[in-house]
Amino acid sequence: MSDSFRVGVVGVGYLGRFHALIWSRLVGVELVGLVDTFTEAAEKVAAETGSRVFPDSAALIDAGVDAVSIVVPTSLHHEVALPFLNAGVHMLLEKPIADSHAHARAIVEAARKSGVVLQIGHLERFNAGVMALAQRIEQPRFIEAHRMGAFVDRATDVDVVSDLMIHDIDIILSLVDSEIQHISAAGTPVLTEHIDIANARLEFSNGAVANVIASRVSENRLRRIRVFEPNRYQSLDFIEQTLDIAWPEPRAGQKWPEIVSQRVEIAPVKPLDAEIAAFHACCRRGERPLVSGEDGLAALDVALQVKQKIMP
């Protein structure tokens, strides 16, 4: 690998544009070029970032990129990712990893055979609040996650499980060191032809339970995860970036302890900047990323089971 880390971005729509902008600002990185089926949009992002537009992925691979951000619709992940992986290009692939288990498995295997870094873009793992919570978790027994918001005319080609709930599924799988034993779920379409509101209950073999709710048809925006452990409770508000911890303290001469609480100060970070910087560092050092291809596959498999329970 040369001193200059050469990067490309495939898909420069709403989110892909931010990938390109962040890559263009990183020290020691050269944003070689962009690929998008909408040439005019790609030209605008290329002008913003001082890069160029390539006609297709093959041309970008031929330009000799070390790594690529893939930010295209999930249905295209398998088709777009494999040529880069087979060519030995490190990859930051947006979530979910793919649209099926077979496609996801093929992506993971291609990365393994090529020996490249494959990181899946589960952005919330780089949320400062989530990282603070993960550092403090010891023995989660019950987890409750809410991810709710108003309807927006974006990402309506997928269901709320793949679009929103999968964030919390991935976080929960990272917090609970146990296999899922049973999944039950309910949900329904409301405004689209896909599932717009869903509730899932994940039961783990070690006895831990997670209740996960996701909605894109709610009046109020809510992003919260609460974790109950023996003698401790933690509540993270994603929006306010606050982490509240409560625990019992014995009181002299009293039968019941006093509940003591503390609010942890969280230094704000930009999750996408942190995600891309971490990926860059993993590529440079040859390290396993925080969210590996296997992690992405595990989250997808649970999401697929949730959807199967709701709409068999």
Give the pLDDT mean for 85-105: 97
Residues 152 and 264 placed together within one structural domain of the fold: yes
Per cent of the chain over pLDDT 70 is 99
Residues 110 and 133 placed together within one structural domain of the fold: no
The domain boundary, picked from 121, 149, 175, lies at 121
Say if 278 falls within a structural domain.
no
Is the per-residue pLDDT at 92 higher than 80?
yes
User: For residue 278, which of 92, 104, 116, 98 has the smallest C-alpha distance?
Assistant: 92
Is the per-residue pLDDT at 2 higher than 70?
no
Question: What CATH number corresponds to the domain at position 50?
Answer: 3.40.50.720
Residues 93 and 199 placed together within one structural domain of the fold: no
User: For residue 93, which of 214, 4, 11, 28 has the smallest C-alpha distance?
Assistant: 11
Q: Are strands 67-70 and 5-10 parallel, antiparallel or unpaired?
A: parallel
Say if 277 falls within a structural domain.
no
Mean of all residue pLDDT scores within the chain = 95
The Cα-based distances of 170 to 26, 78, 108, 175, 212 in angstroms read 27, 20, 17, 9, 11
Give the pLDDT mean for 104-118: 98
Residues 35 and 168 placed together within one structural domain of the fold: no
Residues 114 and 157 placed together within one structural domain of the fold: no
For the segment 221-262, what is each residue's pLDDT rounded down to a tens digit?
A: 999 999 999 999 999 999 889 999 999 999 888 889 999 999
Q: Residue 1 — pLDDT band, cuts 50, 70, 90? A: very low
Give the pLDDT mean for 46-72: 97
Residues 34 and 140 placed together within one structural domain of the fold: no
pTM of the model: 0.94
Per cent of the chain over pLDDT 90 is 92
pLDDT at 312: 81
Say if 296 falls within a structural domain.
no
Residues 131 and 256 placed together within one structural domain of the fold: yes
Give the pLDDT mean for 149-171: 90
Number of domains the chain contains: 2
Say if 291 falls within a structural domain.
no
Residues 21 and 82 placed together within one structural domain of the fold: yes
Residues 138 and 174 placed together within one structural domain of the fold: yes
Full residue range of the structural domain in which residue 106 is found: 5-121
Say if 54 falls within a structural domain.
yes
Give the pLDDT mean for 126-153: 94
Q: In the beta sheet, which residues pair with residue 213?
A: 146, 199
Residues 27 and 85 placed together within one structural domain of the fold: yes
Residues 116 and 130 placed together within one structural domain of the fold: no
Is the per-residue pLDDT at 113 higher than 70?
yes
Say if 154 falls within a structural domain.
yes
The domain boundary, picked from 121, 138, 159, lies at 121
CB atoms within 10 A of CB 24: 18
Say if 280 falls within a structural domain.
no
Q: Using CA atoms, how far apart are residues 77 and 231, in angstroms rounded to an integer?
A: 43
Question: What CATH number corresponds to the domain at position 155?
Answer: 3.30.360.10
Residues 109 and 97 placed together within one structural domain of the fold: yes
pLDDT at 34: 98
pLDDT at 60: 98
pLDDT at 195: 96
For the segment 4-39, what is each residue's pLDDT rounded down to a tens digit?
A: 899 999 999 999 999 999 999 999 999 999 999 999
Say if 80 falls within a structural domain.
yes
Coil, strand, or helix at residue 46? Answer: helix
**In the numeric block, which tokens belong to residue 33?**
């070029």
The domain boundary, picked from 121, 151, 179, lies at 121
